[in-house]
């Protein structure tokens, strides 16, 4: 029994599963058929017809004019009214007024203009199983409510049933759904590498979705799984250049046998090494041993960090590691208390992440409100008790975690995360005149405490418009939704589960 196994578990350990993957890759014709269809063309054509002429075409400059700018760059500052000039994929200038008579103009009056959100941990292969485990906890800990848990139901059962074509549609749909919500960058933690074809389908889905994505190469199971050695092929075949929208992170879960090899390969390839760190999985001793041995570095991304020792935290902080928090999930699924204050106290770069849509939304407004309200609740309780208490998080502090800190953790802060000249134009326009926001009195506060995904008016990734005036461009959503439903149906049939929307 490996350390991942739980006492009395009904399902077999995934490290021993005899899984035979479908060897057929998702071919180009099938992918094209999924992405292109007639159902959404009328609505998209109507939306696109209002785009200023030439926006997104090579050589065309674009001026986002008169918006309320939250730059996330201290040198640029924030402006009640300012312009953002874009040339090609990059931001050229941010200033109160820019004279660019040759530029196509986007009128941003009444809109908050800011960098897109950065999600540093999202299991997108689970998109077809949204709300599948709304009441589940993380692992079977022997208590009555834990019999139906994420580890056994998702990782040990459902994930083993995915074909490459399931992985592909889940990745595409999950990606564009987050684009619609203003999340322009993701690290996709894809624990679905049962074969090289599964890995390639993951990357194809991320690429076809057209947003900035970090491919997190985590584990897979079965006789055709080639993790972690296949990282070398994947790096050479798909990530030979660090340019473009896609990059790569190595997964190195310390609860799995052989994690040392994964860490070594990741560092040999010059990749950040990411891992889930959850005390309830019994990781604390191994984590502390690695820290004491000097194995941590600024290339590490530690996800959750719940239930860890003071020594472990010190090792992480001294190494300059990054912490990714999934606050609503951590509260919902019994990971342990989200360590917001500990990360803040130690000055660790800290970001937000959505984790698993089988249990909680991937909407970033939910993540931000979860973080700020929980931190302030603990601080306020201490204040009311007459005790010393930490600084209350502000809305702007929370936005930093949702943007620039996430980019920093993924080693993408030279390219995204702030409206800085020279960085790529990953920009969102948020409707500050909508009925749930107007009248605008505090811009960061409106984003964090009032807004939700319907306020995401327009989205750019590297200067390309992905959403315009409330409509996603370039995808046949009804067609893709049916393909996702077909994938869901296959998974439920293969698992011998009924499609019952009121299943206990």
- Per-residue pLDDT tens over the stretch 266-313: 999 999 999 999 987 889 999 999 999 999 999 999 999 999 999 999
Question: Does residue 218 contact residue 230 with C-beta atoms inside 8 Å?
Answer: no
Residue 455 is predicted with a pLDDT of 98
Crossing angle of helices 196-209/28-35, nearest 10°?
40
| Sign of the C-alpha dihedral computed for residues 291, 296, 298 and 300 taken in this order | negative
Q: Which residues of the chain have pLDDT under 70?
A: 1-26, 29-30, 33-34, 36-43
Residue 243 is predicted with a pLDDT of 84
Distance CA 76, CA 70 (A): 9
Residue 374 is predicted with a pLDDT of 98
Output the six-digit token pair for 444.
């960061």
Residue 251 is predicted with a pLDDT of 98
Whose CA is closest to 260, among 275, 245, 246? 275
Q: Where are the beta strands (DSSP E) in 333-378?
A: 349-352
pTM assigned to the model: 0.93
Tokens 């040392």 map to which residue? Answer: 260
Distance CA 287, CA 321 (A): 13
Residue 15 is predicted with a pLDDT of 33
What CATH code is assigned to 14-29+117-409?
A: 3.20.20.140
> What are the residue boundaries of the structural domains of the chain, listed by start?
14-29+117-409, 60-113+429-470
Whose CA is closest to 275, among 247, 294, 293, 301? 301
Crossing angle of helices 196-209/231-238, nearest 10°?
30
Residue 6 is predicted with a pLDDT of 38
Q: Do domains 14-29+117-409 and 60-113+429-470 have the same CATH topology?
A: no
In terms of DSSP H, where are the helices of 36-163? 41-48, 150
Q: Is 503 helix (H, G, I), strand (E, B) or coil?
A: coil
Contact partners, residue 502, CB within 8 Å, separation at least 6: none
Residue 38 is predicted with a pLDDT of 58
What are the tens digits of pLDDT across the range 13-33? 333 333 333 445 567 766 776
Architecture of domain 60-113+429-470: Roll (2.30)
């Amino acid at each position: 029994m490996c350390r991942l196994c739980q006492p009395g578990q009904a399902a077999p350990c995934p490290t021993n599963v005899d899984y035979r993957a479908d060897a057929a890759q998702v071919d180009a014709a099938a992918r094209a058929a999924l992405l292109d269809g007639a159902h959404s063309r009328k609505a998209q054509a109507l939306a696109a017809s209002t785009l200023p002429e030439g926006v997104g075409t090579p050589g065309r400059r674009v001026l986002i004019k008169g918006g309320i700018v939250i730059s996330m760059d201290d040198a640029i500052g924030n402006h009640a009214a300012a312009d953002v000039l874009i040339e090609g994929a990059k931001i050229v200038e941010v200033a109160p007024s820019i004279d660019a008579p040759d530029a196509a103009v986007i009128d941003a009056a009444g809109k908050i203009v800011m960098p897109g959100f950065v999600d540093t941990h999202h299991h997108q292969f689970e998109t077809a199983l949204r709300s599948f485990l709304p009441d589940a906890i993380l692992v079977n800990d022997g208590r009555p409510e834990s019999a139906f848990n994420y580890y056994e139901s998702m990782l040990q059962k459902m994930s083993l049933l995915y074909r490459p074509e399931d992985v592909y549609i889940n990745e595409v749909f999950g990606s564009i759904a987050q684009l619609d919500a203003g999340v322009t960058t993701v690290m996709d933690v894809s624990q679905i590498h049962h074969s090289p074809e599964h890995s390639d389908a993951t990357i194809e889905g991320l690429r076809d979705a057209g947003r900035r994505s970090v491919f997190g190469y985590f584990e897979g199971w079965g006789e055709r799984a080639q993790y972690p050695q296949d990282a070398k092929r994947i790096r050479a075949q798909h990530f030979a250049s660090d340019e473009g929208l896609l990059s790569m992170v190595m997964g190195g879960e310390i609860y799995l046998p052989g994690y040392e090899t994964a860490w070594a390969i990741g560092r040999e390839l010059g990749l950040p090494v990411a891992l889930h760190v959850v005390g309830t999985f019994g990781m604390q001793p191994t984590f502390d041993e690695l820290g004491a041995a000097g194995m941590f570095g600024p290339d590490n991304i530690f996800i959750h960090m719940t239930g860890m020792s003071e020594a472990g935290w010190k090792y992480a902080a001294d190494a300059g590691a990054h912490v990714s928090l999934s606050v609503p999930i951590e509260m919902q699924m019994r990971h342990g208390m989200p360590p917001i204050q500990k990360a803040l106290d130690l000055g660790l770069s800290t970001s937000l992440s959505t984790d698993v849509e089988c249990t909680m939304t991937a909407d970033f407004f939910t993540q931000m409100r979860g973080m700020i309200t929980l931190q302030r609740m603990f601080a306020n309780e201490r204040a009311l008790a007459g005790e010393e208490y930490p600084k209350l998080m502000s809305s702007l502090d929370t936005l930093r975690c949702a943007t620039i800190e996430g980019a920093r953790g993924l080693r993408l802060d030279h390219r995204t995360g702030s409206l800085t000249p020279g960085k790529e134009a990953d920009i969102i326009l948020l409707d500050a005149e909508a009925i749930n926001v107007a009248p605008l009195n505090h811009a960061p506060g409106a984003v964090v405490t009032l807004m939700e995904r319907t306020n995401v008016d327009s989205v750019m990734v590297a200067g390309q418009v992905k959403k315009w005036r409330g409509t996603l461009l370039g995808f046949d959503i009804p067609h893709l939704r049916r393909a996702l439903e077909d994938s869901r149906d296959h998974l439920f049939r293969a698992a011998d589960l009924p499609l019952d929307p009121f299943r206990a």
